[in-house]
Amino acid sequence: MITLLTATGCRPDAWALCERWMMAQTYAGPVRWVIVDDGEEAQPITARRHGWHIDIVRPRPYWKPGDNTQARNILAGLAVIGVDERVVIIEDDDHYKPDWLRVVDRELEKGELVGEFLARYYNVETRKGRQLRNDRHASLCSTAVRGRGLAALRVACQQRPKFIDLALWNNFRPHHLFGGHRVTGIKGLPGRGGIGMGHRSEFRGTDDPSGVLLRDWIGSDANRYIKE
């Protein structure tokens, strides 16, 4: 079994797409999905799939504009996750190809902290995409942990860093990175804003007014993000 951990809240459009990408996964094993929702109005959770069990955590105080509750919310999710679980971070506003869970489950056999490097970010509001050069760490959206890696994730979040992925990957050895471009960081969706560089107005990348770059990256799923 693998356990998915998602921190969300005040992003109904992004959340609906996240459910879509998870329900399309080809992973055939049992899944536990821990969803931590700190929005004052709960996200409408409609995902249903045989062999999947969903646990919802509602931490308080609820999020309000200006707050960064990511570390707190991940800790709230980890509080209901056992030390022997294999945990895959799923971020609510990112795109996951259908084989992501199957691949990351296999890669977890190779390490206690694993993730996909050379991240791709795409801002759907400004229609800019950027290929990053991160070859020593993975973004949080494409990170999975077990064993000592799971304990290290808890410690990183307790430090309340702005960027949990850097705090985790820079301080844990050995770790395992792999390629494949199965995850694309999506920025600029409606609702609660994010904190990463891809969400900023000055985000630099390749101009993609027609959406051809995003379609090259994620195929026809790009139509869910780009409306002509």
How many Cβ atoms from other residues are within 10 Å of residue 14's Cβ?
21
Distance of CA 155 to the CA centre of its chain: 19
> Count of CB atoms within 10 A of residue 126's CB?
18
Query: Percent helix, strand and coil across the chain, each rounded to 5?
Result: 30, 20, 50
pLDDT tens-place string over residues 155-192: 999 999 889 999 999 999 999 999 999 999 999 999 98
Please state the pTM of the whole predicted model. Answer: 0.95
Structural domains of the chain in order of their starting residue, each with its CATH number: 2-117+136-181 (3.90.550.10)
pLDDT of residue 198: 46
